[in-house]
Chains A and B, each alone.
Chain A
Amino acid sequence: MRTGGIFRHAVSAAVLTLALSLAVVPSARTAEIVVVGTVGSASANLWPVFIGLNKGMFAEKDLKIDLVYVQSSAAVIQQLTAGSLDVTMSTGLVDPIRAIEKGAQIAIVRFESQSPPYALVAKPNIRSLRDLKGKVISLGGAKDITRIYVERMLAPSGIKPGEFDMVFAGATAARAAALQSGAVDAAILLPPSNFQAVANGFNELGLTADFTPELPFSGTVVGVPWANAHRAVLLRLLDAHAKAVAWFEDDRNRTEAVAMMVKASGLKADEVEKAYDFYRKGKFFEPTGRVSITRLKALMGALESLGDLPPGMDVNRLLLPGVTVVSD
């Protein structure tokens, strides 16, 4: 009997101790996982994302980024529309515009790049844009934003749509590989792939920013149901991204930023350095994330002229009230 009593007392004491210890241990906030989709593979466009991941800016906001690469801009928006992704980053803006017009429950919440940082790079024997008539050019997709850029670049040289052939590869890395293997005559490339191609003897025929300065390039797009259910998470994500852009724009971080992209892309340091300087000089990353309605309407006009958008679509359908901040 005495033994049984001691045992009961011991069990009670253990349970009490356990309960007290649980009461005083501070409850740690688990990081919110955000599934972020983007196109292809590592490129300079994703620099702020890599900075945010490497410098812990997302972690500071209790965010864990699950980065998913999808083969093309259209495909990444399809996945977002289907709910497989929460957010997309570095997404060409034409695809979400088309999807929203067709009823997709997605919205543009920030501009990441106000103008396109692409370059049109061609084989060594092709020296000018005029020489591209009848040639094969690698673009991102049949309806991709890169197609709009290339057609605008070729128009002043008298080359109309249909006077050159197109093959499609959603990611810059794939287009660069196609160009350097000789499979295509030219390709539209993002930095640092264009610098790598030029270093290998290919010719840079022009920059898209010189031909289409009024057209914006990429943005952050969200699924509206997810955004409405996770408004605070979304705002923290955008805040972390803005911090990453500010970090990129700080000269003191140049060496570290270059090292991050070298590791992520596998390209040479000097090519990545050129990409860094190009992005800094051209001020390609939008520091505030604000959406320019003027530029958005210019892009919608381009889509209307292609017959991809009905005239008079309300630009506000593209935005998320309470989150998207407009600049004009």
Chain B
Amino acid sequence: MVTIESSNPDKVGPAPRAPVHAFARVRVRGPHLAGLLSIVAGLALWEFFSRVVVANALFLAAPTQIFGAIYRLAIGGQLGPHIAISAAEFAIGYVIASLLGIVTGFVMASSEVGKRILQPWIAGLYATPTIALAPLFILWLGIGIWSKVLVVIFLVLFPVTINTEAGLRTTSARLIEMLRSFGATPRQIFFKLSLPSAMPFILAGLKLGIGRGLIGVVVAELFGSRAGLGRLISQSADAFNMPELFAGVVILAVAGIVMTAGFTWLERVLVPWTRD
């Protein structure tokens, strides 16, 4: 509730700033507070469940044990190299797949022949269990980062391609007609209308690719790697070290959350008209 007061109703000038009650301040920050409270409550419940109900770190590690493992791995210098390797594999694969996916989507959207040629491959490879091909990629490219990069490319490429193509195709035909009637060139139509119209779809595809890419990195490392979070997870599982196993999982989850949040911010900047 806001109260506006003025000691002199005839005074000329800017209206005095209305005092904002504390409750209003809390309401403005409500959505973020709710999310934070949800996480804290979830962690507390997890801690209680694992310490009291399960009471065996072999089956379920408590959050405090997991954070302890993260701290020990970080202090011991083991965590950094694992994160660096996985991050490099993900970043390289993701960038290549995103660029390829956008270009391929554009080709499919702008050329009927291109679409007919590429569609069966896109549809078939999208449905292929790429993870099962990881051992083959290791055979082709060795145990280094490039076999993992290839897995990430395969997993990220298709949602980006499909979303890009869908976004470009759903550009309003009436708006295109309208721009043509005003004498717009195809280039102008693409940059002024088609691309902005497709942006929400492209960004959605890129967001989808984050989770798939992270999964690809981990699973590919499980099959064979020198280092990486997937390797850390598999080694920890073999050694029955659940806190370290969960440490790897939590780091990947946090990476996914941060990147997704980053893309959400990017959406607000690039496509503000899609905000509620």
Q: Are A98 and B240 in contact (CB under 8 A)?
A: yes
Is B4 positioned at the interface, with any CB of A under 8 Å from its CB? Answer: no
Q: Are B238 and A99 in contact (CB under 8 A)?
A: no
Given pairs A95-B238, A98-B240, 19 additional interface contacts (CB within 8 A): A74-B239, A74-B240, A77-B240, A78-B240, A81-B240, A103-B56, A142-B231, A142-B238, A143-B238, A143-B239, A144-B238, A165-B143, A167-B138, A167-B143, A168-B223, A168-B224, A168-B234, A183-B135, A183-B138
Is B192 positioned at the interface, with any CB of A under 8 Å from its CB? Answer: no
Q: Are B235 and A142 in contact (CB under 8 A)?
A: yes
Instruction: Give the contacts of A37-96 with B (CB-CB under 8 A).
Output: 72, 74, 77-78, 81, 95
Q: B20-47 vs A: 1/0 string, CB under 8 Å?
A: 0000000000000000000000000000
Q: Are B224 and A99 in contact (CB under 8 A)?
A: no
Q: Which residue of A lies closest to B239 (CB)?
A: A143
Q: Which residues of A contact B15 (CB under 8 A)?
A: none
Q: Are A102 and B238 in contact (CB under 8 A)?
A: no
Task: Count A-B pairs with CB separation below 8 Å.
Answer: 52
Q: Which residues of B contact A101 (CB under 8 A)?
A: 240
**How near does chain B come to A307, taking the closest CB pair, in angstroms?**
10
> CA A172 – CA B57 in complex, angstroms?
31
Is B226 positioned at the interface, with any CB of A under 8 Å from its CB? Answer: yes
Q: A29-42 vs B: 1/0 string, CB under 8 Å?
A: 00000000000000
Q: Are B240 and A99 in contact (CB under 8 A)?
A: yes
**Sampled A-B contacts (30; CB under 8 Å):** A72-B238, A74-B237, A74-B238, A74-B240, A77-B240, A78-B237, A78-B240, A81-B240, A98-B239, A99-B240, A101-B240, A102-B57, A102-B240, A103-B56, A104-B58, A136-B142, A142-B231, A142-B235, A143-B235, A143-B238, A144-B238, A165-B226, A166-B224, A167-B138, A168-B223, A168-B224, A168-B234, A181-B139, A183-B135, A308-B239
Using CB atoms and an 8 Å cutoff, list the residues of chain A in contact with chain B: 72, 74, 77-78, 81, 95, 98-99, 101-104, 136, 141-144, 165-168, 181, 183, 308
**How near does chain A come to B122, taking the closest CB pair, in angstroms?**
29
Is B241 positioned at the interface, with any CB of A under 8 Å from its CB? Answer: yes
> CA A21 – CA B2 in complex, angstroms?
93
Q: Which residue of B lies closest to A182 (CB)?
A: B139
Using CB atoms and an 8 Å cutoff, list the residues of chain B in contact with chain A: 56-58, 135, 138-139, 142-143, 223-224, 226, 231, 234-235, 237-242
Q: Are A103 and B58 in contact (CB under 8 A)?
A: yes
Report which of B57, B143, B234, B235 forms a contact with A136, defined as CB distance below 8 A: B143
Q: Which residues of B contact A77 (CB under 8 A)?
A: 240
Q: Are A103 and B234 in contact (CB under 8 A)?
A: no
**How near does chain A come to B236, taking the closest CB pair, in angstroms?**
9
> CA A147 – CA B113 in complex, angstroms?
54
> CA A72 – CA B142 in complex, angstroms?
23
Q: Which residues of B contact A99 (CB under 8 A)?
A: 58, 240
Q: Which residue of A lies closest to B143 (CB)?
A: A165
> CA A74 – CA B57 in complex, angstroms?
17
> CA A95 – CA B240 in complex, angstroms?
8
Q: Which residues of B contact A102 (CB under 8 A)?
A: 57-58, 240-242
Q: Which residues of A contact B240 (CB under 8 A)?
A: 74, 77-78, 81, 98-99, 101-102, 104
**How near does chain A come to B256, taking the closest CB pair, in angstroms?**
24
> CA A101 – CA B242 in complex, angstroms?
13
Q: Which residues of A contact B237 (CB under 8 A)?
A: 74, 78
> CA A95 – CA B235 in complex, angstroms?
12
**How near does chain A come to B28, taking the closest CB pair, in angstroms?**
48
Q: Which residues of A contact B142 (CB under 8 A)?
A: 136
> CA A144 – CA B240 in complex, angstroms?
12
**How near does chain A come to B148, taking the closest CB pair, in angstroms?**
13
Q: Which residues of A contact B239 (CB under 8 A)?
A: 74, 98, 143, 308
Q: Which residue of B lies closest to A303 (CB)?
A: B239
Report which of B57, B223, B224, B231 forms a contact with A103, defined as CB distance below 8 A: B57
> CA A136 – CA B224 in complex, angstroms?
10
Q: Which residue of B lies closest to A104 (CB)?
A: B58
